[in-house]
Chain A
Amino acid sequence: MIETQHLSKLYSRGLYALRDLTINVAKGEFVFLTGPSGAGKSTLLRLLLLQERPSEGEIFVNGHNLATLSRSDIQEYRRGIGFIFQDFKLIPTRTVLENVSFVPEVLGVPAAQQKRRAFQVLKWVGLQHRMNALPQDLSGGEQQRVAIARALASEPVLLLADEPTGNLDPDLSLEIMNLLREVNAGGTTVLVATHDRELIRLVGRRTITLDGGHMVEVA
């Protein structure tokens, strides 16, 4: 599903965020990406989302060489990817249902299907009863569940999560991880960047450890 070959990302100050990184993530796999702050975890996710371009090396996702994608191809490629951020990135002026149905809406899904799909995923994350609430009225855990619902609304084949439990307490963190495991059980490939070693131990999946932009361990 994901393959990087000698991937490097050099920033203008001469600092490498990633250096000569070669990794493989199989289809349907659940993989943790860990390491200290500045290890290059978020940079790798940004490269996978094509928010940035690599300085060297290549990335293949689901058979696509990301270097060859045009602007409209990038948008099409992203439709197959769900994303979750530490700070949730929910739209504060829209209700929970609107935040989730926003994705099918801007992908051109017919109106009737937008709400139906949004309701389905909200029900799946257990928040159908809060669908008319605004994000500010939800707890951190609930907001992250809405973000997961939004990520699943486009039925992605790959889910990228950047420190999804960074703002949550341990119990809620495990709850979110259990949700992600269920997503993975449905066949979606999941790549989670986290520095929470305890959480990784509890979930117990393959882990790629980065440090200073290099891969230092695969366990």
Chain B
Amino acid sequence: MTAVSPLLEVHDLHVSYGRVEAVQGVSLSVGAGQIVSVIGANGAGKSTLLGAIMGALPSRGRVEYAGRTLAHTPLESRVAAGMTLVPERRELFSSMTVEDNLRLGAYTRRREGAGDLGGVFTRFPRLEERRKQLAGTLSGGEQQMLAIGRALMARPKLLLLDEPSLGLAPLIVREILRIVAELRDAGVTVLLVEQNARAALAISDFGYVLEGGQVRLSGPAADLAHDPAVVASYLGTGK
């Protein structure tokens, strides 16, 4: 499929909530150094898929990361191994300062020193201005930046982003996706889950379309963006 070697491979993943199977046998592959996006409507199982890959939800199937099968590996060990998830709900430490949130992002690297606080501030100057402010007092866009910044503090090899554009103004969405593209150029592999299909495919190398918990379509992002079925269902005709 892709020429690059895969960093993450998912084979036949199933996730159930009680009797409802939210993810039904999804297989996907994320090449090292790529942005791969998963697009789909609300309730297609996108967030569940990311949660299961990260180990936050119990699942059946095989997840391989950097050539290792993650079976009984708990979420926290996956973080230590270089996977980080920026969840849709962001899950910030709202009553702690921006700086404390970031420093805690480097928790798994605490033996190696402070982590890359300067690097995150260079990427998100807004966070440096607000470093002493409580995370809960930030605007939505700033909270999203903080959530991504906190994830970057762990110096991840694989960044899982769940709906980073949700609820944000178009200008800020563009800014955040630009930074995601920069991260790829800096060597971070990204698995991006988005409802905003047009914006996601524009920066992605490869894409999957999820419907009802199953992969309906997949292909290079540029092809998907012109696929008539995708255009009709997810991109619409307007802007």
Q: Are A and B interaction partners? A: no
Q: Chain B interface (Cβ within 8 Å of chain A)?
A: none
